[in-house]
Structure 1
């Protein structure tokens, strides 16, 4: 490893511009205000350059991401990346994390949307892109399990070019106190609109054991949901009058119909906690803090 670092160091002394070109800033991404704690090697650079730190990481096959300190110019090589749910991350404004999505292992899940509960911004409009979202914290675009600051919704631009992407599967999950409380996985075989995959025909796994039972029926199963009453990402079994409505999950955007959705902090992410459907009016459901959507690509 020391020989590799020596070679890169000499290369920088004699031809720094060439080295910078070989690893241009558009080949890696920068996340500001965080650092990973999965460091295995530390270097003290003699000048301020994120490119230099990035190339040291590139030169080592064990390096998945790098921490770079904008004040001290210290460079740390990490064995994990910020998109890895098992990584240890802390918030620190002096640091930047340099990484490449191309380094994701095969079959990894990539976060493309995150909804934050109770912020007063509608999740459906945010997801389909009919409203503009404010600038988000870096924690919003990283796995919810990292428990970083996130006070808005996050939407990846890939949602605007959905049909042109090679997206194989989509996962939806809700989190309470940064712990996953439910999840579903869908095929994306039709490769149509960015809402088409959310259907019973595309469902291949659900943490709700009765959702995949033969003969189960739904009166709503879509991202748009029941538009008249603004229940989104809605998966429901039946309407028999509010006291007898049965379902699995819902995002309540603005409740005014049934007692169980009135007076909440919207959007409210409601889920049945026992891996089976429940009766809404009995308030058998609980509330999650975040809703996340991930994709798996070729």
Structure 2
């Protein structure tokens, strides 16, 4: 019996069917309407409903009454149900790790989700934050914004710890300066891991016309050139420090190898402001290479 058939019969009379339909697949399975992620909670829900302990199915039923509901938090012990709705442009709220809660994500509603919001000058490694080896201080609620001054640390969505269970179609990296998007790269996210999606072989498109299937490069990975702390590195060539050229790089704290990456207030996000790879030295001169304030990673589902 499918969803439309049950809706026509009146779901309120079939509690046992709904329990099976929603929850029989168990944690991390994508059958049914919801996927359960234990130990997580959407931070700023729009609606709170008081239920009885153990009534996770009723909480999910509350969610489906709203077309824009993409997730429900449920506290198993006290029966608190929290409903979250998509914001303007499909915007979602921050997700925190919280062992007291279970998060139920509704399938086919959530299309795009923010999973990393990195802040320039925070002093915290972007690479280590992304891979989960460093845990930054708790992000402010305003870290959902790409505005320059809205966030003082990095935000990492704990949903990425379940990467293999997510219905990822694309991974999108975007750079922002003064709240405006200045660069983006889109990757095929199917069959990837948290560490290997950022690669030339998975490149779908970018805001740089020269970064295409015929582009040449010597670094294109999250790991980049680790000895120089150059990560999320898309580099065309090394020809001696003044002539090193590429499209983008994240300069993490503590290490450097050239004048152009010996900069204060790291991490620093460098990107080509032209349609081609340019020298990093031009960033020091304030010409072709520029500095972004925010780096964001989004998952596209479907």
Length-normalised TM-score, structure 1: 0.67
- Seen in structure 2, the aligned counterparts of structure 1 residues 51 and 169 have a Cα distance that, compared at 3 Å, is same
Match of 1:288 among 285, 289, 292: 292
Equivalent in the alignment of 2:279: 279
Equivalent in the alignment of 1:203: 203
Whether contact under 8 Å (2:69, 2:106) holds in the other structure is no
Equivalent in the alignment of 2:80: none
- Seen in structure 2, the aligned counterparts of structure 1 residues 286 and 31 have a Cα distance that, compared at 3 Å, is same
Please identify, of 261-270 and 111-120, the stretch whose mean Cα deviation from structure 2 is larger: 261-270
Matched, 1:111 2:114: yes
The alignment yields a C-alpha RMSD, in angstroms, of 3.5
* Secondary structure of the structure 2 residue equivalent to 1:169: strand
- Seen in structure 2, the aligned counterparts of structure 1 residues 168 and 236 have a Cα distance that, compared at 3 Å, is same
* Secondary structure of the structure 1 residue equivalent to 2:195: coil
Q: CA deviation at 1:285?
A: 1.0
* Structure 2 portions without partners, runs of 5+: 1-35, 51-58, 71-83, 94-102
* Secondary structure of the structure 2 residue equivalent to 1:171: strand
* Secondary structure of the structure 2 residue equivalent to 1:51: strand
* Secondary structure of the structure 2 residue equivalent to 1:233: strand
Q: CA deviation at 1:113?
A: 0.9
Question: Could you report, residue by residue, the CA deviation over 1:151-200 in whole angstroms, capped at 9, with x for unpaired residues?
Answer: 11111122222223321110000111111111111002333x31111101
Length-normalised TM-score, structure 2: 0.66
Q: CA deviation at 1:253?
A: 1.2
- Find the aligned partners of 2:118 and 2:260 in 1 and give their Cα distance: 21
Match of 1:50 among 48, 52, 56: 48
- Find the aligned partners of 2:224 and 2:159 in 1 and give their Cα distance: 22
Q: CA deviation at 1:135?
A: 1.1
Equivalent in the alignment of 1:39: none
- Seen in structure 2, the aligned counterparts of structure 1 residues 161 and 218 have a Cα distance that, compared at 3 Å, is same
Query: How many residues align structurally?
Result: 234
- Seen in structure 2, the aligned counterparts of structure 1 residues 85 and 144 have a Cα distance that, compared at 3 Å, is farther
Whether contact under 8 Å (1:220, 1:226) holds in the other structure is yes
- Seen in structure 2, the aligned counterparts of structure 1 residues 137 and 104 have a Cα distance that, compared at 3 Å, is farther
* Structure 1 portions without partners, runs of 5+: 1-25, 36-48, 66-77, 90-98
* Secondary structure of the structure 2 residue equivalent to 1:201: helix
* Secondary structure of the structure 2 residue equivalent to 1:263: coil
- Find the aligned partners of 1:247 and 1:59 in 2 and give their Cα distance: 47
Whether contact under 8 Å (2:69, 2:109) holds in the other structure is no
